[in-house]
């Protein structure tokens, strides 16, 4: 582990901090390191949520490291098993990643926030995509942002450089919570704690189903769920936890989840 990526375990949650002054930009080596962190997170049965944030209060992440690019690092480098940033394309990651956006989320930094399952933002956070000014496009943003924002707003962000403040992002549903900067991690931890209180197999099934049915109609998605082809859904239905939930409700006690 290098100084660029710090990991702290807090109960069933890990907190991953990107620390690459001055703008928390990500080069291929750092992305591969993040991929290793999130692979370990995926494979650890004792972990249920991850919080991803940047060091400092100015930049969440400036995205792709243009200094590395200027030194010859290719735009389509090997970014590791989870793609750029470590988690967006990681196979089998059915645990929630919570982005705690502590400042500017530019380019790939904004794309990482788009790929997170939940987002908490500092009240001074700003989201924007400057790639067109650098002669490239935001690959993930070009696909995802029009699905997350009204068409004309997405177009203005993508091709006219519009910046979205935290309050505006909240209004558009891009973030779940906005908090003062010094309360941001508390807001993200509160989201993580709520996730960790739920049945882990149910959470995994929801995330898996959401990803597998993206782009399908509701009827197509339901048909896929009921086809028996989604292992996480089958596992959840036949689990001990599926019996524990109703039992705990009738016995008026908190459920004890076993993840099996």
pLDDT (tens digit per residue) in 4-20: 999 999 999 999 999 99
Q: Which residue has better confidence, 66 or 29?
A: 29
Q: What residue spans of the chain are helical by DSSP H?
A: 28-43, 66-70, 108-115, 139-148, 151-160, 166-171, 184-196, 200-212, 218-226, 231-237, 240-250
* 111 in catalytic set: yes
Query: What would the pLDDT profile of 48-94 be if each residue is shown by its tens digit?
Result: 999 999 999 999 999 887 666 666 555 667 888 899 999 999 999 99
C-beta atoms surrounding 191 within 10 Å: 21
pLDDT classification of 135: cutoffs 50, 70, 90 = confident
**Phi/psi at 64 (nearest 5 deg)?**
-60, 135
* 113 Cβ contact list (under 8 Å, min separation 6): 60, 99, 101, 105, 119, 127, 174, 175
- Provide the pLDDT for residue 5: 95
The residue from 73, 76, 89, 131 that is catalytic is: 131
Query: What would the pLDDT profile of 99-121 be if each residue is shown by its tens digit?
Result: 999 999 999 999 999 999 999 99
Pairing of strands 104-106, 126-128: parallel
Query: What would the pLDDT profile of 218-257 be if each residue is shown by its tens digit?
Result: 999 999 999 989 999 999 999 999 998 999 999 999 999 9
- Provide the pLDDT for residue 79: 83
Cα–Cα distance, 90 to 76 (Å, whole number): 17
Q: Where are the domains of the chain?
A: 5-196, 200-250
The residue whose two tokens read 């028996």 is: 228
The residue from 76, 111, 183, 214 that is catalytic is: 111
Cα–Cα distance, 113 to 199 (Å, whole number): 25
Q: What 8-state DSSP symbol labels residue 4?
A: T
Pairing of strands 118-122, 97-101: parallel
* 33 in catalytic set: no
Residue 132 has pLDDT above 90, yes or no: no
- Provide the pLDDT for residue 166: 97
- Give the mean model confidence (pLDDT) for residues 187-215: 94
Average pLDDT, the chain: 92
- Provide the pLDDT for residue 72: 59
Q: Is 208 left (phi over 0), alpha (psi -120 to 50) or beta?
A: alpha
Sign of CA dihedral 68, 73, 77, 81: negative
The CATH number fitting domain 5-196, selected from 3.40.50.300, 3.30.390.30, 3.30.830.10, 3.90.226.10: 3.90.226.10
17, 3, 36: which is closest to 188 by C-alpha? 17
- Provide the pLDDT for residue 74: 59
Q: What does the CA dihedral 245, 247, 248, 252 come to, rounded to 10 degrees?
A: 140
Strand partners, 59: 104
């Amino acid at each position: 582990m290098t100084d660029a990526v710090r990991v702290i375990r807090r109960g069933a949650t890990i907190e991953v901090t990107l620390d690459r002054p001055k703008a928390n930009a990500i080069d291929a080596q750092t992305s591969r390191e993040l991929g290793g962190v999130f692979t370990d997170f995926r494979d650890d049965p004792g972990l249920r949520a991850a919080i991803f944030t940047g060091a400092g209060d100015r930049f969440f992440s400036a995205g792709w490291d243009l200094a590395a690019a200027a030194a010859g690092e290719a735009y389509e480098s090997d970014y590791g098993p989870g793609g750029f940033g470590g988690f967006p394309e990681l196979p089998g990651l059915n645990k929630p990643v919570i982005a705690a956006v502590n400042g500017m989320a530019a380019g790939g930094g904004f794309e990482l926030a788009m790929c997170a399952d939940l987002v908490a933002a500092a009240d001074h956070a700003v989201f924007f995509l400057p790639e067109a000014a650098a002669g490239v496009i935001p690959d993930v943003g070009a696909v995802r942002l029009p699905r997350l924002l009204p068409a004309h707003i997405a177009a203005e962000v993508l091709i006219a450089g519009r910046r979205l403040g935290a309050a505006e992002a909240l209004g558009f549903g891009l973030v779940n919570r906005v908090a003062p900067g010094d309360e941001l991690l508390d807001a993200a931890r509160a989201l993580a704690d709520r996730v960790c209180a739920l049945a882990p197999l149910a959470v995994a099934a929801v995330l898996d189903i959401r990803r597998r049915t993206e782009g399908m109609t509701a009827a197509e998605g339901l048909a896929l769920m009921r086809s028996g082809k989604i292992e996480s859904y089958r596992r959840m239905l036949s689990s001990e936890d599926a019996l524990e939930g109703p039992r705990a409700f009738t016995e008026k006690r908190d459920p004890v989840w076993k993840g099996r």
